[in-house]
Every structure is written in C-alpha cells, then in structure tokens.
Amino acid sequence: MKGHIRERSPGRWAIVLDVRDPQSAKRKRRWHSFQGTKRQAQTECARLIADLQRGTYLEPNKILVSQYLDHWLEHIHSQVSPRTYERYAEIARKNVAPLLGAIRLTQLKPAQISCAYSTALKTGRSDGKGLSPRTVHHCHRILKQSLKQAVRWQILANNPADAVAPPKVERKAMQTYDVAQTAKLIDTMRGTPLFVPTILAALCGLRRGEIAALRWGCVHLDAGQMAIVQSAEQMNNAVRLKEPKTGRARTVALPSLVVEELTTHRVERAETLLRLGIRLSEEHFVCCHDDASMMQPTYLTHQWLKAIRRSGLPIRRLHDLRHTHATQLLASGVHPKIASERLGHSKVGITLDLYSHVLPGMQEDAAAKIDDALRRAMSTLPQDR
C-alpha cells in the first residue's frame, strides 16, 4: 500500500493513494484534497494508508452516513469512557442511522437533518411512537460531534448540523421530599436492603453509583466522615468501577444518625458474613448482598421502584433523594459552597443553577436579617433635636 502528496498551491495538497482492485488486481488511484502544512498532509496520508491496511478506509464520495457513523464510533472508542461509548453507539445506530443512514455523507443537507428530527419526534421509536425531545437532542449532539470530525478529516467542507436547531427540551420541575416525608421514608425502608442506600442518598447526597461502590475502608465512623473515591458505572453486561463524576475524590461529613445506623449495619453485616465463613474487611462493600457481592446500580434502581410504589409516599426516583438532601441543606441556611462540596459538584454554579428554586426564600431571610441589624444599629444613634 503506497501513497504520496502533491502540492497544488501554497497550503493545499493532493493526497494520492495507490490501491489495487482485489478482483482485477489493477492499480487504482484515490485522490484526497487536504489543506494545511506539508507535515500535516504527510500525517493525513499516513492515516489514510493505515485505514486502508486495516480495512476501515472510507471513500469520501461514496460513503453513507451510516458507514461514516460506524467509522467515527471506532475513532472515538478509546477517547471516551466505556459507558459513554455504549450510549453514543446506541443512539447513533438505533436512532440516527435509521433516519439518515442511507444518505451519502457528502450530500447531507441541513433540511434533511431537520426533517429527520421531526420524524423522530413523531415515529422515531421501534414501536412506532415518537422519541422524547431530550433523546432527539442527544441525537443532534452526537450527529453534530461526528460531523465535526468529518470536517477535521476534510471529508466535508462544513458541518450541516451546525445550521439545524434541535427541539427544545423543557426543564422539568425538581421533585423532592420534605423533611416529614423523608423521615417517613427512612422509617419505611428500615429492615429492607434499601435502608442504607436510602440514608446515604437522603442524608449524605450520594449518587447511585457512589452508593454501590462505597467500601468500608472509606467509612470512618469514629471521625464521622467517609471518603467518596469511586463510583460504579453500569454497563450493558458488567459494572465498571471508576473515579467519581467530577474526576476527584471528596470527603462527606456524616450526620450522627447516619453514624449510628452504619455502626449497627456493620455489626449485622459482619455477623451475616461470618456465618458464611467470611470475615468482614475494609474491601467489602457497604451496600452488598448476603454473599458480600456488590449491589449493582440497576439493582438499586429496580428495588427502589418496587419499594416506593408500596410505601404510600409520592413516587420519586432514587436520584431525587440526592436532590432532597441538597434542597434541605440550602433551605436550612447551609452556604451553597458547602452544599456544592458535599454533593461533589465541580463548581458552585452548578449547585446554584440546579437549586435556584430554594434561593428566593434564603434571600428574603438574608434581607430580613440585614434589615433587622441595620435598624438596631440606627436605633442606638443619638437623635438630633
């Protein structure tokens, strides 16, 4: 397999690939236009030759959108997390490809993309029903990202998805439990496998994956703290342990109620494992089955849905317990920066944006305190006669 470059004009190159037809054994030349430096053109030539040798080469003028998406997915496989790759592949192949896959990539127009989004909203699912605006928004994001790479590879002159607006996604009102409902929830879950996950989410603000990955070695009951150093990511066929969502560990202070309940839970767990001939260690998961195996994230979700439907409480997601904790923190006057650190947000702005519905009451309280302090100070001033 050979290839070379030719300069057409300053900064513009022709990449010429020598290819043999597997049927006739005749040599064919495939031409690619490239704009950049000589070194960049040589690098691109080497990449195209490598694609030819691997069998992943795509001829620009004949490639279909579906073929290009497969090629792009292979390209990003090592650049994103396994779960992200699974999600990208699922949306690209199940949602985008059926609508746009038969179109030649170089002939893809903004109007076709816009029409595809309208169709997806009406009949985009496999059962003939429409996809949600949020899912179509994800389709747009992935299509736009993949076509951006096509522009970098100089397969396309511009990105047709840039000229298309995705459907508007309405922000749903956050649903949480109040303090009385939280107390009832904890009492309802007592004695069930979901009791400890419930208090970790509702009283400490942990994410589902963080609950599943928490080990006893990260829980320091004497100090009243725990370290969140890992999160369990649910894959199609397995669970992967990774860093927390923000990429860094955090320390969470434990309420005395949580310390008491975890102390009792540790003793009970140690006794259960001892009957199986297993000694509880720092490596064991806090939330585990009787055989010490991890409670996978999907298991927690499925069990939560069953339990909450029987509880008589308003139906909320397991993740909404985290929102409940955050809302109750801010409503109690905890500084947003402290709440942000406790929740593991990368920036305090995320906390303020997510829980802005709590802030009006906090601002009124702050204004009242400032007004009261100023009035008391003014009352001590001497009165002019």
Q: How far apart are CA 126 and CA 81, in angstroms?
A: 27
CA distances from 267 to 205, 223, 295 (A): 24, 18, 19
How many CB atoms within 10 Å of residue 245? 15
What's the full length of the chain, in residues?
A: 385
The pTM for the full model equals: 0.73
pLDDT for the residue numbered 190:
94
pLDDT for the residue numbered 48:
83
pLDDT for the residue numbered 221:
95
Q: How far apart are CA 166 and CA 95, in angstroms?
A: 14
Q: What is the pLDDT of residues 293-341, one digit of tens each?
A: 999 999 999 999 999 999 999 999 999 999 999 988 888 888 888 989 9
Give the per-residue SS3 of the chain: CEEEEEEEECCEEEEEEEEECCCCCCEEEEEEEEECCHHHHHHHHHHHHHHHHHCCCCCCCCCEHHHHHHHHHHHHCCCCCHHHHHHHHHHHHHHHHHHHCCCEHHHCCHHHHHHHHHHHHHHCCCCCCCCCHHHHHHHHHHHHHHHHHHHHCCCCCCCHHHHCCCCCCCCCCCCCCCHHHHHHHHHHHCCCCCHHHHHHHHHHCCCHHHHHHCEHHHEECCCCEEEECCEEEECCCCEEEECCCCCCCEEEECCHHHHHHHHHHHHHHHHHHHHCCCCCCCCCECCECCCCCECCHHHHHHHHHHHHHHHCCCCCCCCHHHHHHHHHHHHCCCCHHHHHHHHCCCCHHHHHHHCHHHHHHHHHHHHHHHHHHHHHHHHCCCCCC
Cβ-based neighbours of 235, under 8 Å, separated by 6 or more: 82, 83, 86
pLDDT for the residue numbered 374:
79
Q: 């508007």: which residue's tokens?
A: 168
pLDDT for the residue numbered 377:
82
pLDDT for the residue numbered 363:
60
Closest alpha carbon to 267 in 286, 251, 295: 286
- Taking 50 as the pLDDT cut, the residues of the chain under it are none
Cβ burial of 241 (10 Å; 0-12, 13-18, 19+) is middle
pLDDT for the residue numbered 366:
64
How many CB atoms within 10 Å of residue 20? 11
